[in-house]
Amino acid sequence: MNKKGFSGFIVPALLLLFFILSISFAAEQNGTAHEEFFRTNIAFDSAHFIKDAKVIKETGLFSAPEKLGKPPIYPILIAVFGDHGYGIPIFQAVLATISLGLLYWVTLSSFGRAEAVTALLIGTMYAPFTFYTIKYIRTSVVVFELMATFSLVMAGKNRPWVTGCAGLMTGVMSMTRPYYKIYFPLILLLLLYELWNKRDKTRALNILFFTAAFALSTLALPSPQKPGAVTGKYPVSGTLEHFVSGNILDSAFGYLWQETPMKNKIMAESHGSITTAITLIADEVSSRPAEYSYFYFKKLRMLLGSYEFPSNYNIELYRDELSTVINLQFMQFGWIVPFALFGIALALREARKNIFLLSWLAITFFPLLLTIHNSRYRLPAAPFFIIFAGAGAVWFFKKIKQRDYPKLIPASIVLVLALIFCRYDYSPLKAPITSEDYYNLALAHKEAGEMEKADFYLIKANKLR
């Protein structure tokens, strides 16, 4: 079997494997006490999305958008597919599988077939892609929207109508997570760059179609009239609160968003203005340069490391206590990043050709340095690291096969140092599974009337306090 024939078999096989894993995970978790608790308890984001979905079903989307607490796209999906059972998990598994297919296509277009198959294998074995398909939060949808938007922009260089579809998708994306409105000016800058390099009618039409389609999609959908939602005035991090929490010393390196003295001080003095908040934080940074240098160094390590910092849901809890399926996917983010460095270096050799891909990695990842971060906020950037990791891994193993020691030795040193930098590290948390995680399990089983299990997890929670 030649290479093309092999990839023609392995690609659908890997996509099918991922879909089967996602559906198996949904079947494993469906109806369990903890999943019902996570889905319906008001302390979790999923309950708020479900609440909005019920408002839409009862009153209609266009009759009272101000009643919605979240942007409308994801609650609409829950209203359509249902707030329990297999509707949303299957729908999100399909979207995640398509996202991996687009990941393969982008890698194939940018690097080559071997790199694309490698990237797809990495993505199939990366557990967060599967994990969030069963959750009633918008993570899987956002990953799909980002991959679809990028793929349409990439495919539409000579087809304005395709670029117009990218504009529509960008608008839908900004209605799913308001922070993603920043992609409109960033994509527009990339299209202007293309026009600057080659001034022709097609590239000018790309800009026109993209802008018009974005405006159409954002105007066509209703939005709740509240700061920080679809019409929000905080473009840096989605909300002022998240931006402030991501840049203060007492926030556990930008991980915690809870009330802290420094956060309360800046929130009070900023009076709801992101510009004032930036000025106040800049003053803090300039007055304590050594502490903030370590703060951002540690935050970068957390963002690039193997540990999936929890937000509402902890993947480590599922690995250790709740799931067999999720343990089958062994890939860690801290293994992806070191190989991605080689892929980025390869792309920089032809920077003009790869400007879209390099820019997209930057605009999906670096804003995380300016806001709070966790596993589900990092996941939308993961496909682009994986694309570069596929290219980097193929290059590295080619050098091993060729015994190209002058390049292999320094590359190996870089790889080892990067693996150390990105190693599994759950600090500043006391343990990879927190007392709060176990306490939530105890509450879930108590609500389900399973007192023996509730006591078991309560004891575990108390040991970590």
- For residues 203 and 191, give the distance between their C-alpha atoms in angstroms, rounded to a whole number: 7
Q: How far is CA 322 from CA 33, 314, 315, 438, 443, in A?
A: 11, 11, 10, 11, 15
- For residues 139 and 284, give the distance between their C-alpha atoms in angstroms, rounded to a whole number: 33
342: closest CA among 395, 274, 382?
395
In sequence order, the 6+-apart residues with CB closer than 8 A to the CB of 133 are 22, 25, 26, 89, 92, 93, 95, 96, 140
DSSP assignment of 283-327 equals HHHHHSHHHHHHHHHHHHHHHHSSS---BSB-HHHIIIII-SGGG
234: closest CA among 276, 189, 269?
276
**N- to C-terminal Cα separation, the chain:** 58
Across-strand partners of 313?
A: 311
pLDDT one digit per residue (tens) for the chain, 465 residues:
556 666 678 999 999 999 999 999 999 999 999 999 999 898 899 999 999 999 888 887 665 566 777 888 899 999 999 998 999 999 999 999 999 999 999 999 999 999 999 999 999 999 999 999 999 999 999 999 999 999 999 998 889 999 999 999 999 998 888 878 888 998 999 899 888 887 888 889 999 999 999 999 888 766 544 433 333 333 333 468 888 888 999 888 888 777 888 888 898 888 888 889 999 999 999 999 999 999 999 999 999 999 999 988 999 999 999 999 999 999 999 999 999 999 999 999 988 888 889 999 998 998 888 888 899 999 999 999 999 999 999 999 999 999 999 999 999 999 999 999 999 988 888 889 999 999 999 999 999 999 999 999 999 999 988
pLDDT number for residue 231 = 36
Phi, psi angle pair for 126, to nearest 5°: -95, 110
- For residues 313 and 128, give the distance between their C-alpha atoms in angstroms, rounded to a whole number: 11
Q: What is the DSSP letter of 85?
A: T
* Other Cβ atoms within 10 Å of 142 Cβ, number: 23
- For residues 167 and 188, give the distance between their C-alpha atoms in angstroms, rounded to a whole number: 10
Q: What angle do CA 7, 166, 12 make, to 5 degrees?
A: 20
Name the region of 232 (left: φ>0; alpha: ψ -120 to 50; beta: rest): beta
164 and 213 Cβ atoms separated by less than 8 Å:
yes
- For residues 187 and 207, give the distance between their C-alpha atoms in angstroms, rounded to a whole number: 9
pLDDT number for residue 255 = 85
- For residues 437 and 31, give the distance between their C-alpha atoms in angstroms, rounded to a whole number: 19
- For residues 244 and 264, give the distance between their C-alpha atoms in angstroms, rounded to a whole number: 9
pLDDT number for residue 242 = 83
How many alpha carbons fall within 13 Å on the CB side of residue 336?
Answer: 29
DSSP assignment of 27-50 equals HHHTT-HHHHHHHH-TTSHHHHHH
pLDDT number for residue 2 = 58
For residue 464, give the 3-state DSSP assignment: coil
The gap from C-alpha 210 to its chain's centroid, in whole angstroms, comes to 24
- For residues 86 and 76, give the distance between their C-alpha atoms in angstroms, rounded to a whole number: 16
142 and 189 Cβ atoms separated by less than 8 Å:
no
389 and 336 Cβ atoms separated by less than 8 Å:
yes
Question: What are the residue ranges spanned by the domains of the chain?
Answer: 3-421
Q: How far is CA 424 from CA 304, 359, 377, 432, in A?
A: 10, 27, 18, 10
pLDDT number for residue 63 = 57
Across-strand partners of 311?
A: 313
Q: Which residue has the tokens 């990218």?
A: 166
User: Hey, what long-range contacts does 111-116 have (CB within 8 A, 24 or more apart)?
Assistant: 111/343, 111/346, 111/387, 111/390, 111/391, 111/394, 112/394, 113/3, 113/4, 113/7, 114/3, 114/394, 115/343, 115/390, 115/391, 115/394, 116/7, 116/11, 116/390
For residue 126, give the 3-state DSSP assignment: strand
343: closest CA among 416, 397, 270?
397
